[in-house]
Structure 1
Amino acid sequence: MKAFITGISGFVGYYLANKLVSEGYDVLGISRAEPKRKATGVEYILCDINDRGKMEKIITDSRPDHVYHLAGPAFIPLSYEKPNIAYGTIVDGTLNLYEIIRKHRLSCKVLYVGSADVYGHGDGTPLHEGSPIVPMNPYAGAKACAEIISKQFYHTYGIQIVSARPFNHTGPYQSVDFVCSNFAKQIALMEKNGESTLSVGNIEVERDFLDVRDVVDAYYLLMQCGTPGEVYNVCSGTCTSLKNIISWLFMNSSIQQHQIFVAPEKLRKVDAPVRVGNHDALVRDTRWFPKYKIKDTMHELLQYWRDNLEKLEK
């Protein structure tokens, strides 16, 4: 079996590539930037998803059985400053991919990876796939548009597309643009430099966190068992406050006392107080269930940054 991953150089792409190799797939992936780390046994090609000619050649030459569509900017604050990039990559890139599949009548199955950000604030209760779509930022708007395109291409052209709405996920190798990794790196630096102040944004919020390895397991199972034309939340079904994330990180550190500083520049323009998902559909159709506890993931994430800081010094 052949698998094709768009956005393979991203945080999730690395873990997904490793997962697919372990399952016996021949894996090929594209990205605009050279990956910082590569999975063993995977073919990497530099390619912009909007480069129609190059994309067409790669896909028609490889003729994948499964396509995992991850490509697109993931850092929400950047989408406020450059909404054209969010829409151009996520919406136009998705349309470009599907048009190639349609034009060449490829029989591959596709997993479109959207975002739970499409739900907006919600009302604090577990969000299910039928909950209202209220995107509150350009990133979420672009993801919602691409999800609609996915459903339309399934109904109109019969392309076998399953859509995922992942909630927050984290783990080693995640960029410091994202909250858990940012906290972990800061605390690793605090240990190293004998400091005691952690700089944060709004830590009153509660989010539904998963370990990235549970997320890629869900993506793999959705490709095997997910119903084309349907959307699935990928989430734990439980809330974790950022205060708890910070507490778990400090529990695993050597720091005895610390202070919290709320940095105004880290406060988001729009920030839902609580966002938690319902994963009943995912569990029903795939028998997936999370294996990793976020408390343990925080221990691994902190250790990753300790090790990484040492490597950067060498």
Structure 2
Amino acid sequence: MQKRALITGLTGQDGSYLAELLLEKGYQVFGLVRRSSSGNLDRISHLSGNVQILSGDLLDQSSLMDVISESQPDEIYNLASQSYVPLSWTQPALTAEYTALGVSRLLESIRRCKKDAKFYQASSSEVFGQPDESPQTERTAFRPRNPYGVAKAYAHWMTINYRQQYNLYTCCGITYTHESPRRGTEFVFRKITSTAAMIKLGLAKELKLGNLEARRDWCYAKDAVYAMWLMLQQEKPDDYIIASGETHSVKDLVECAFNCVGLNWQDYVSVDPAFYRPDESVQLVGSIEKIKTQLDWKPQYSFEQLVELMVEHDLKKLTNTGC
């Protein structure tokens, strides 16, 4: 029998890649989209006709119940949230409504309408905040340092509580920073790859960045969504870190991106304190020992391969030879 999956956050980076993966595996895919977002379907335009769009909102539990009742999903992937950390400081209440309470509404809707559905919750490395150990594991204490991290921590523990209290199949994937050509340019990785391409083509002259020594655990979004799917194929639900297991500095990223276009980054990059984040000293890097051992998952793309992939995409996009 054909499996059915419901994805919230379908129009985002992860949602679009996950939809592609599930379609390749023969699923019938449904996507929850807010009416106000129905016009922003660029990332899934190539899937038109293959994914059934359903209107709903994480702020409205009755709409979630209607969508679950209509789609009758075997698997539900909650990828929707207010996911930009700086914005969570200017809109903390809205971030809490979508990223925290929205998960409560969704879990309760599953309990009432489709108790046998398997549920994936997109957790985040931001729940660790200022960790007391590095690398972090699934047992590392949560110490979130921004409203987004606080909201994700609430959602994480609610997911576990519904698993324990109601015996639902619910999982949390604690994802670290994951990138792709579908990432917005407000995120530093895409900002760097796209600007390097622009400079190469004579469309920009400089790139301003914050702390070049800041380090991140970066992996490819396609690798991350495969891990999400894999988690829901297990006999028993559990929580896993999804990461690369290594860190690279912003300087490493800049050097690699400019090498891809044959330029010396030092000729074009300047440091602007305005782009510094208050928690740059925090090193978030995930241990992938558990997911590697239990699910046989590890990233298929190296850091260098990811940078090259994204720079090449941006060059093609800017020269109108690709999408």
Q: Aligned residue for 1:135?
A: 144
Whether the 8 Å contact between 1:63 and 1:106 is mirrored in structure 2 is no
Question: Secondary structure of 2:240's match?
Answer: strand
Q: 1:44 offset after TM fit, Å?
A: 2.1
Q: Aligned residue for 2:15?
A: 13
Q: Aligned residue for 1:122?
A: 131
Determine what percentage of the aligned residue pairs are the same residue. 27
* Distance of 1:226 and 1:283 partners within structure 2: 17
| Cα-to-partner distance string for 1:84-113 (whole Å, 9 max, x where unaligned) | 111010112101111111122531010111
Unaligned segments of structure 2, at least 5 residues: none
Task: Return the match for 1:152 from 151, 161, 165.
Answer: 161
Whether the 8 Å contact between 2:179 and 2:189 is mirrored in structure 1 is yes
| Cα-to-partner distance string for 1:90-146 (whole Å, 9 max, x where unaligned) | 112101111111122531010111101111132562111111110000000000001
Question: Secondary structure of 2:186's match?
Answer: coil
Question: Secondary structure of 1:71's match?
Answer: coil
* Distance of 2:202 and 2:193 partners within structure 1: 14
* Distance of 1:127 and 1:97 partners within structure 2: 28
Is the counterpart of residue 214 in structure 1 residue 216 in structure 2?
Answer: no
Evaluate the alpha carbon distance shift between residue 24 and residue 105 of structure 1 in structure 2; reply closer, same or farther with a 3 A threshold.
Answer: closer
* Distance of 1:270 and 1:226 partners within structure 2: 39
1:265-304 equivalent positions in 2, closer than 5 A: 265-304=274-313
Alpha-carbon RMSD across the aligned residues, in angstroms, is 1.9
* Distance of 1:70 and 1:87 partners within structure 2: 15
1:61-100 equivalent positions in 2, closer than 5 A: 61-100=70-109
* Distance of 1:195 and 1:93 partners within structure 2: 40
Q: 1:226 offset after TM fit, Å?
A: 7.1
Unaligned segments of structure 1, at least 5 residues: none
Query: What is the one-letter code of the residue matched to 1:13?
Result: G
Q: Aligned residue for 1:112?
A: 121
Task: Return the match for 2:250 from 233, 242, 247.
Answer: 242
Task: Return the match for 1:176 from 158, 161, 185.
Answer: 185
Query: What is the one-letter code of the residue matched to 2:245?
Result: G
Moved more, 1-10 or 31-40: 31-40
Whether the 8 Å contact between 2:74 and 2:117 is mirrored in structure 1 is yes
Whether the 8 Å contact between 1:122 and 1:272 is mirrored in structure 2 is no
Query: What is the one-letter code of the residue matched to 1:75?
Result: Y
Report runs of 4+ in structure 1 exceeding 6 Å deviation.
none
Question: Secondary structure of 2:182's match?
Answer: coil
* Distance of 1:252 and 1:194 partners within structure 2: 17
Evaluate the alpha carbon distance shift between residue 195 and residue 96 of structure 1 in structure 2; reply closer, same or farther with a 3 A threshold.
Answer: closer
Count of paired positions: 312
Q: TM-score, normalised by structure 1?
A: 0.94
Query: What is the one-letter code of the residue matched to 2:242?
Result: V
Question: Secondary structure of 2:192's match?
Answer: helix
Evaluate the alpha carbon distance shift between residue 309 and residue 47 of structure 1 in structure 2; reply closer, same or farther with a 3 A threshold.
Answer: farther
Q: 1:225 offset after TM fit, Å?
A: 2.0
Whether the 8 Å contact between 1:172 and 1:301 is mirrored in structure 2 is yes
* Distance of 1:195 and 1:176 partners within structure 2: 14
Q: 1:56 offset after TM fit, Å?
A: 1.5
1:190-269 equivalent positions in 2, closer than 5 A: 190-193=199-202, 195-225=204-234, 227-228=236-237, 230-256=238-264, 258-269=267-278
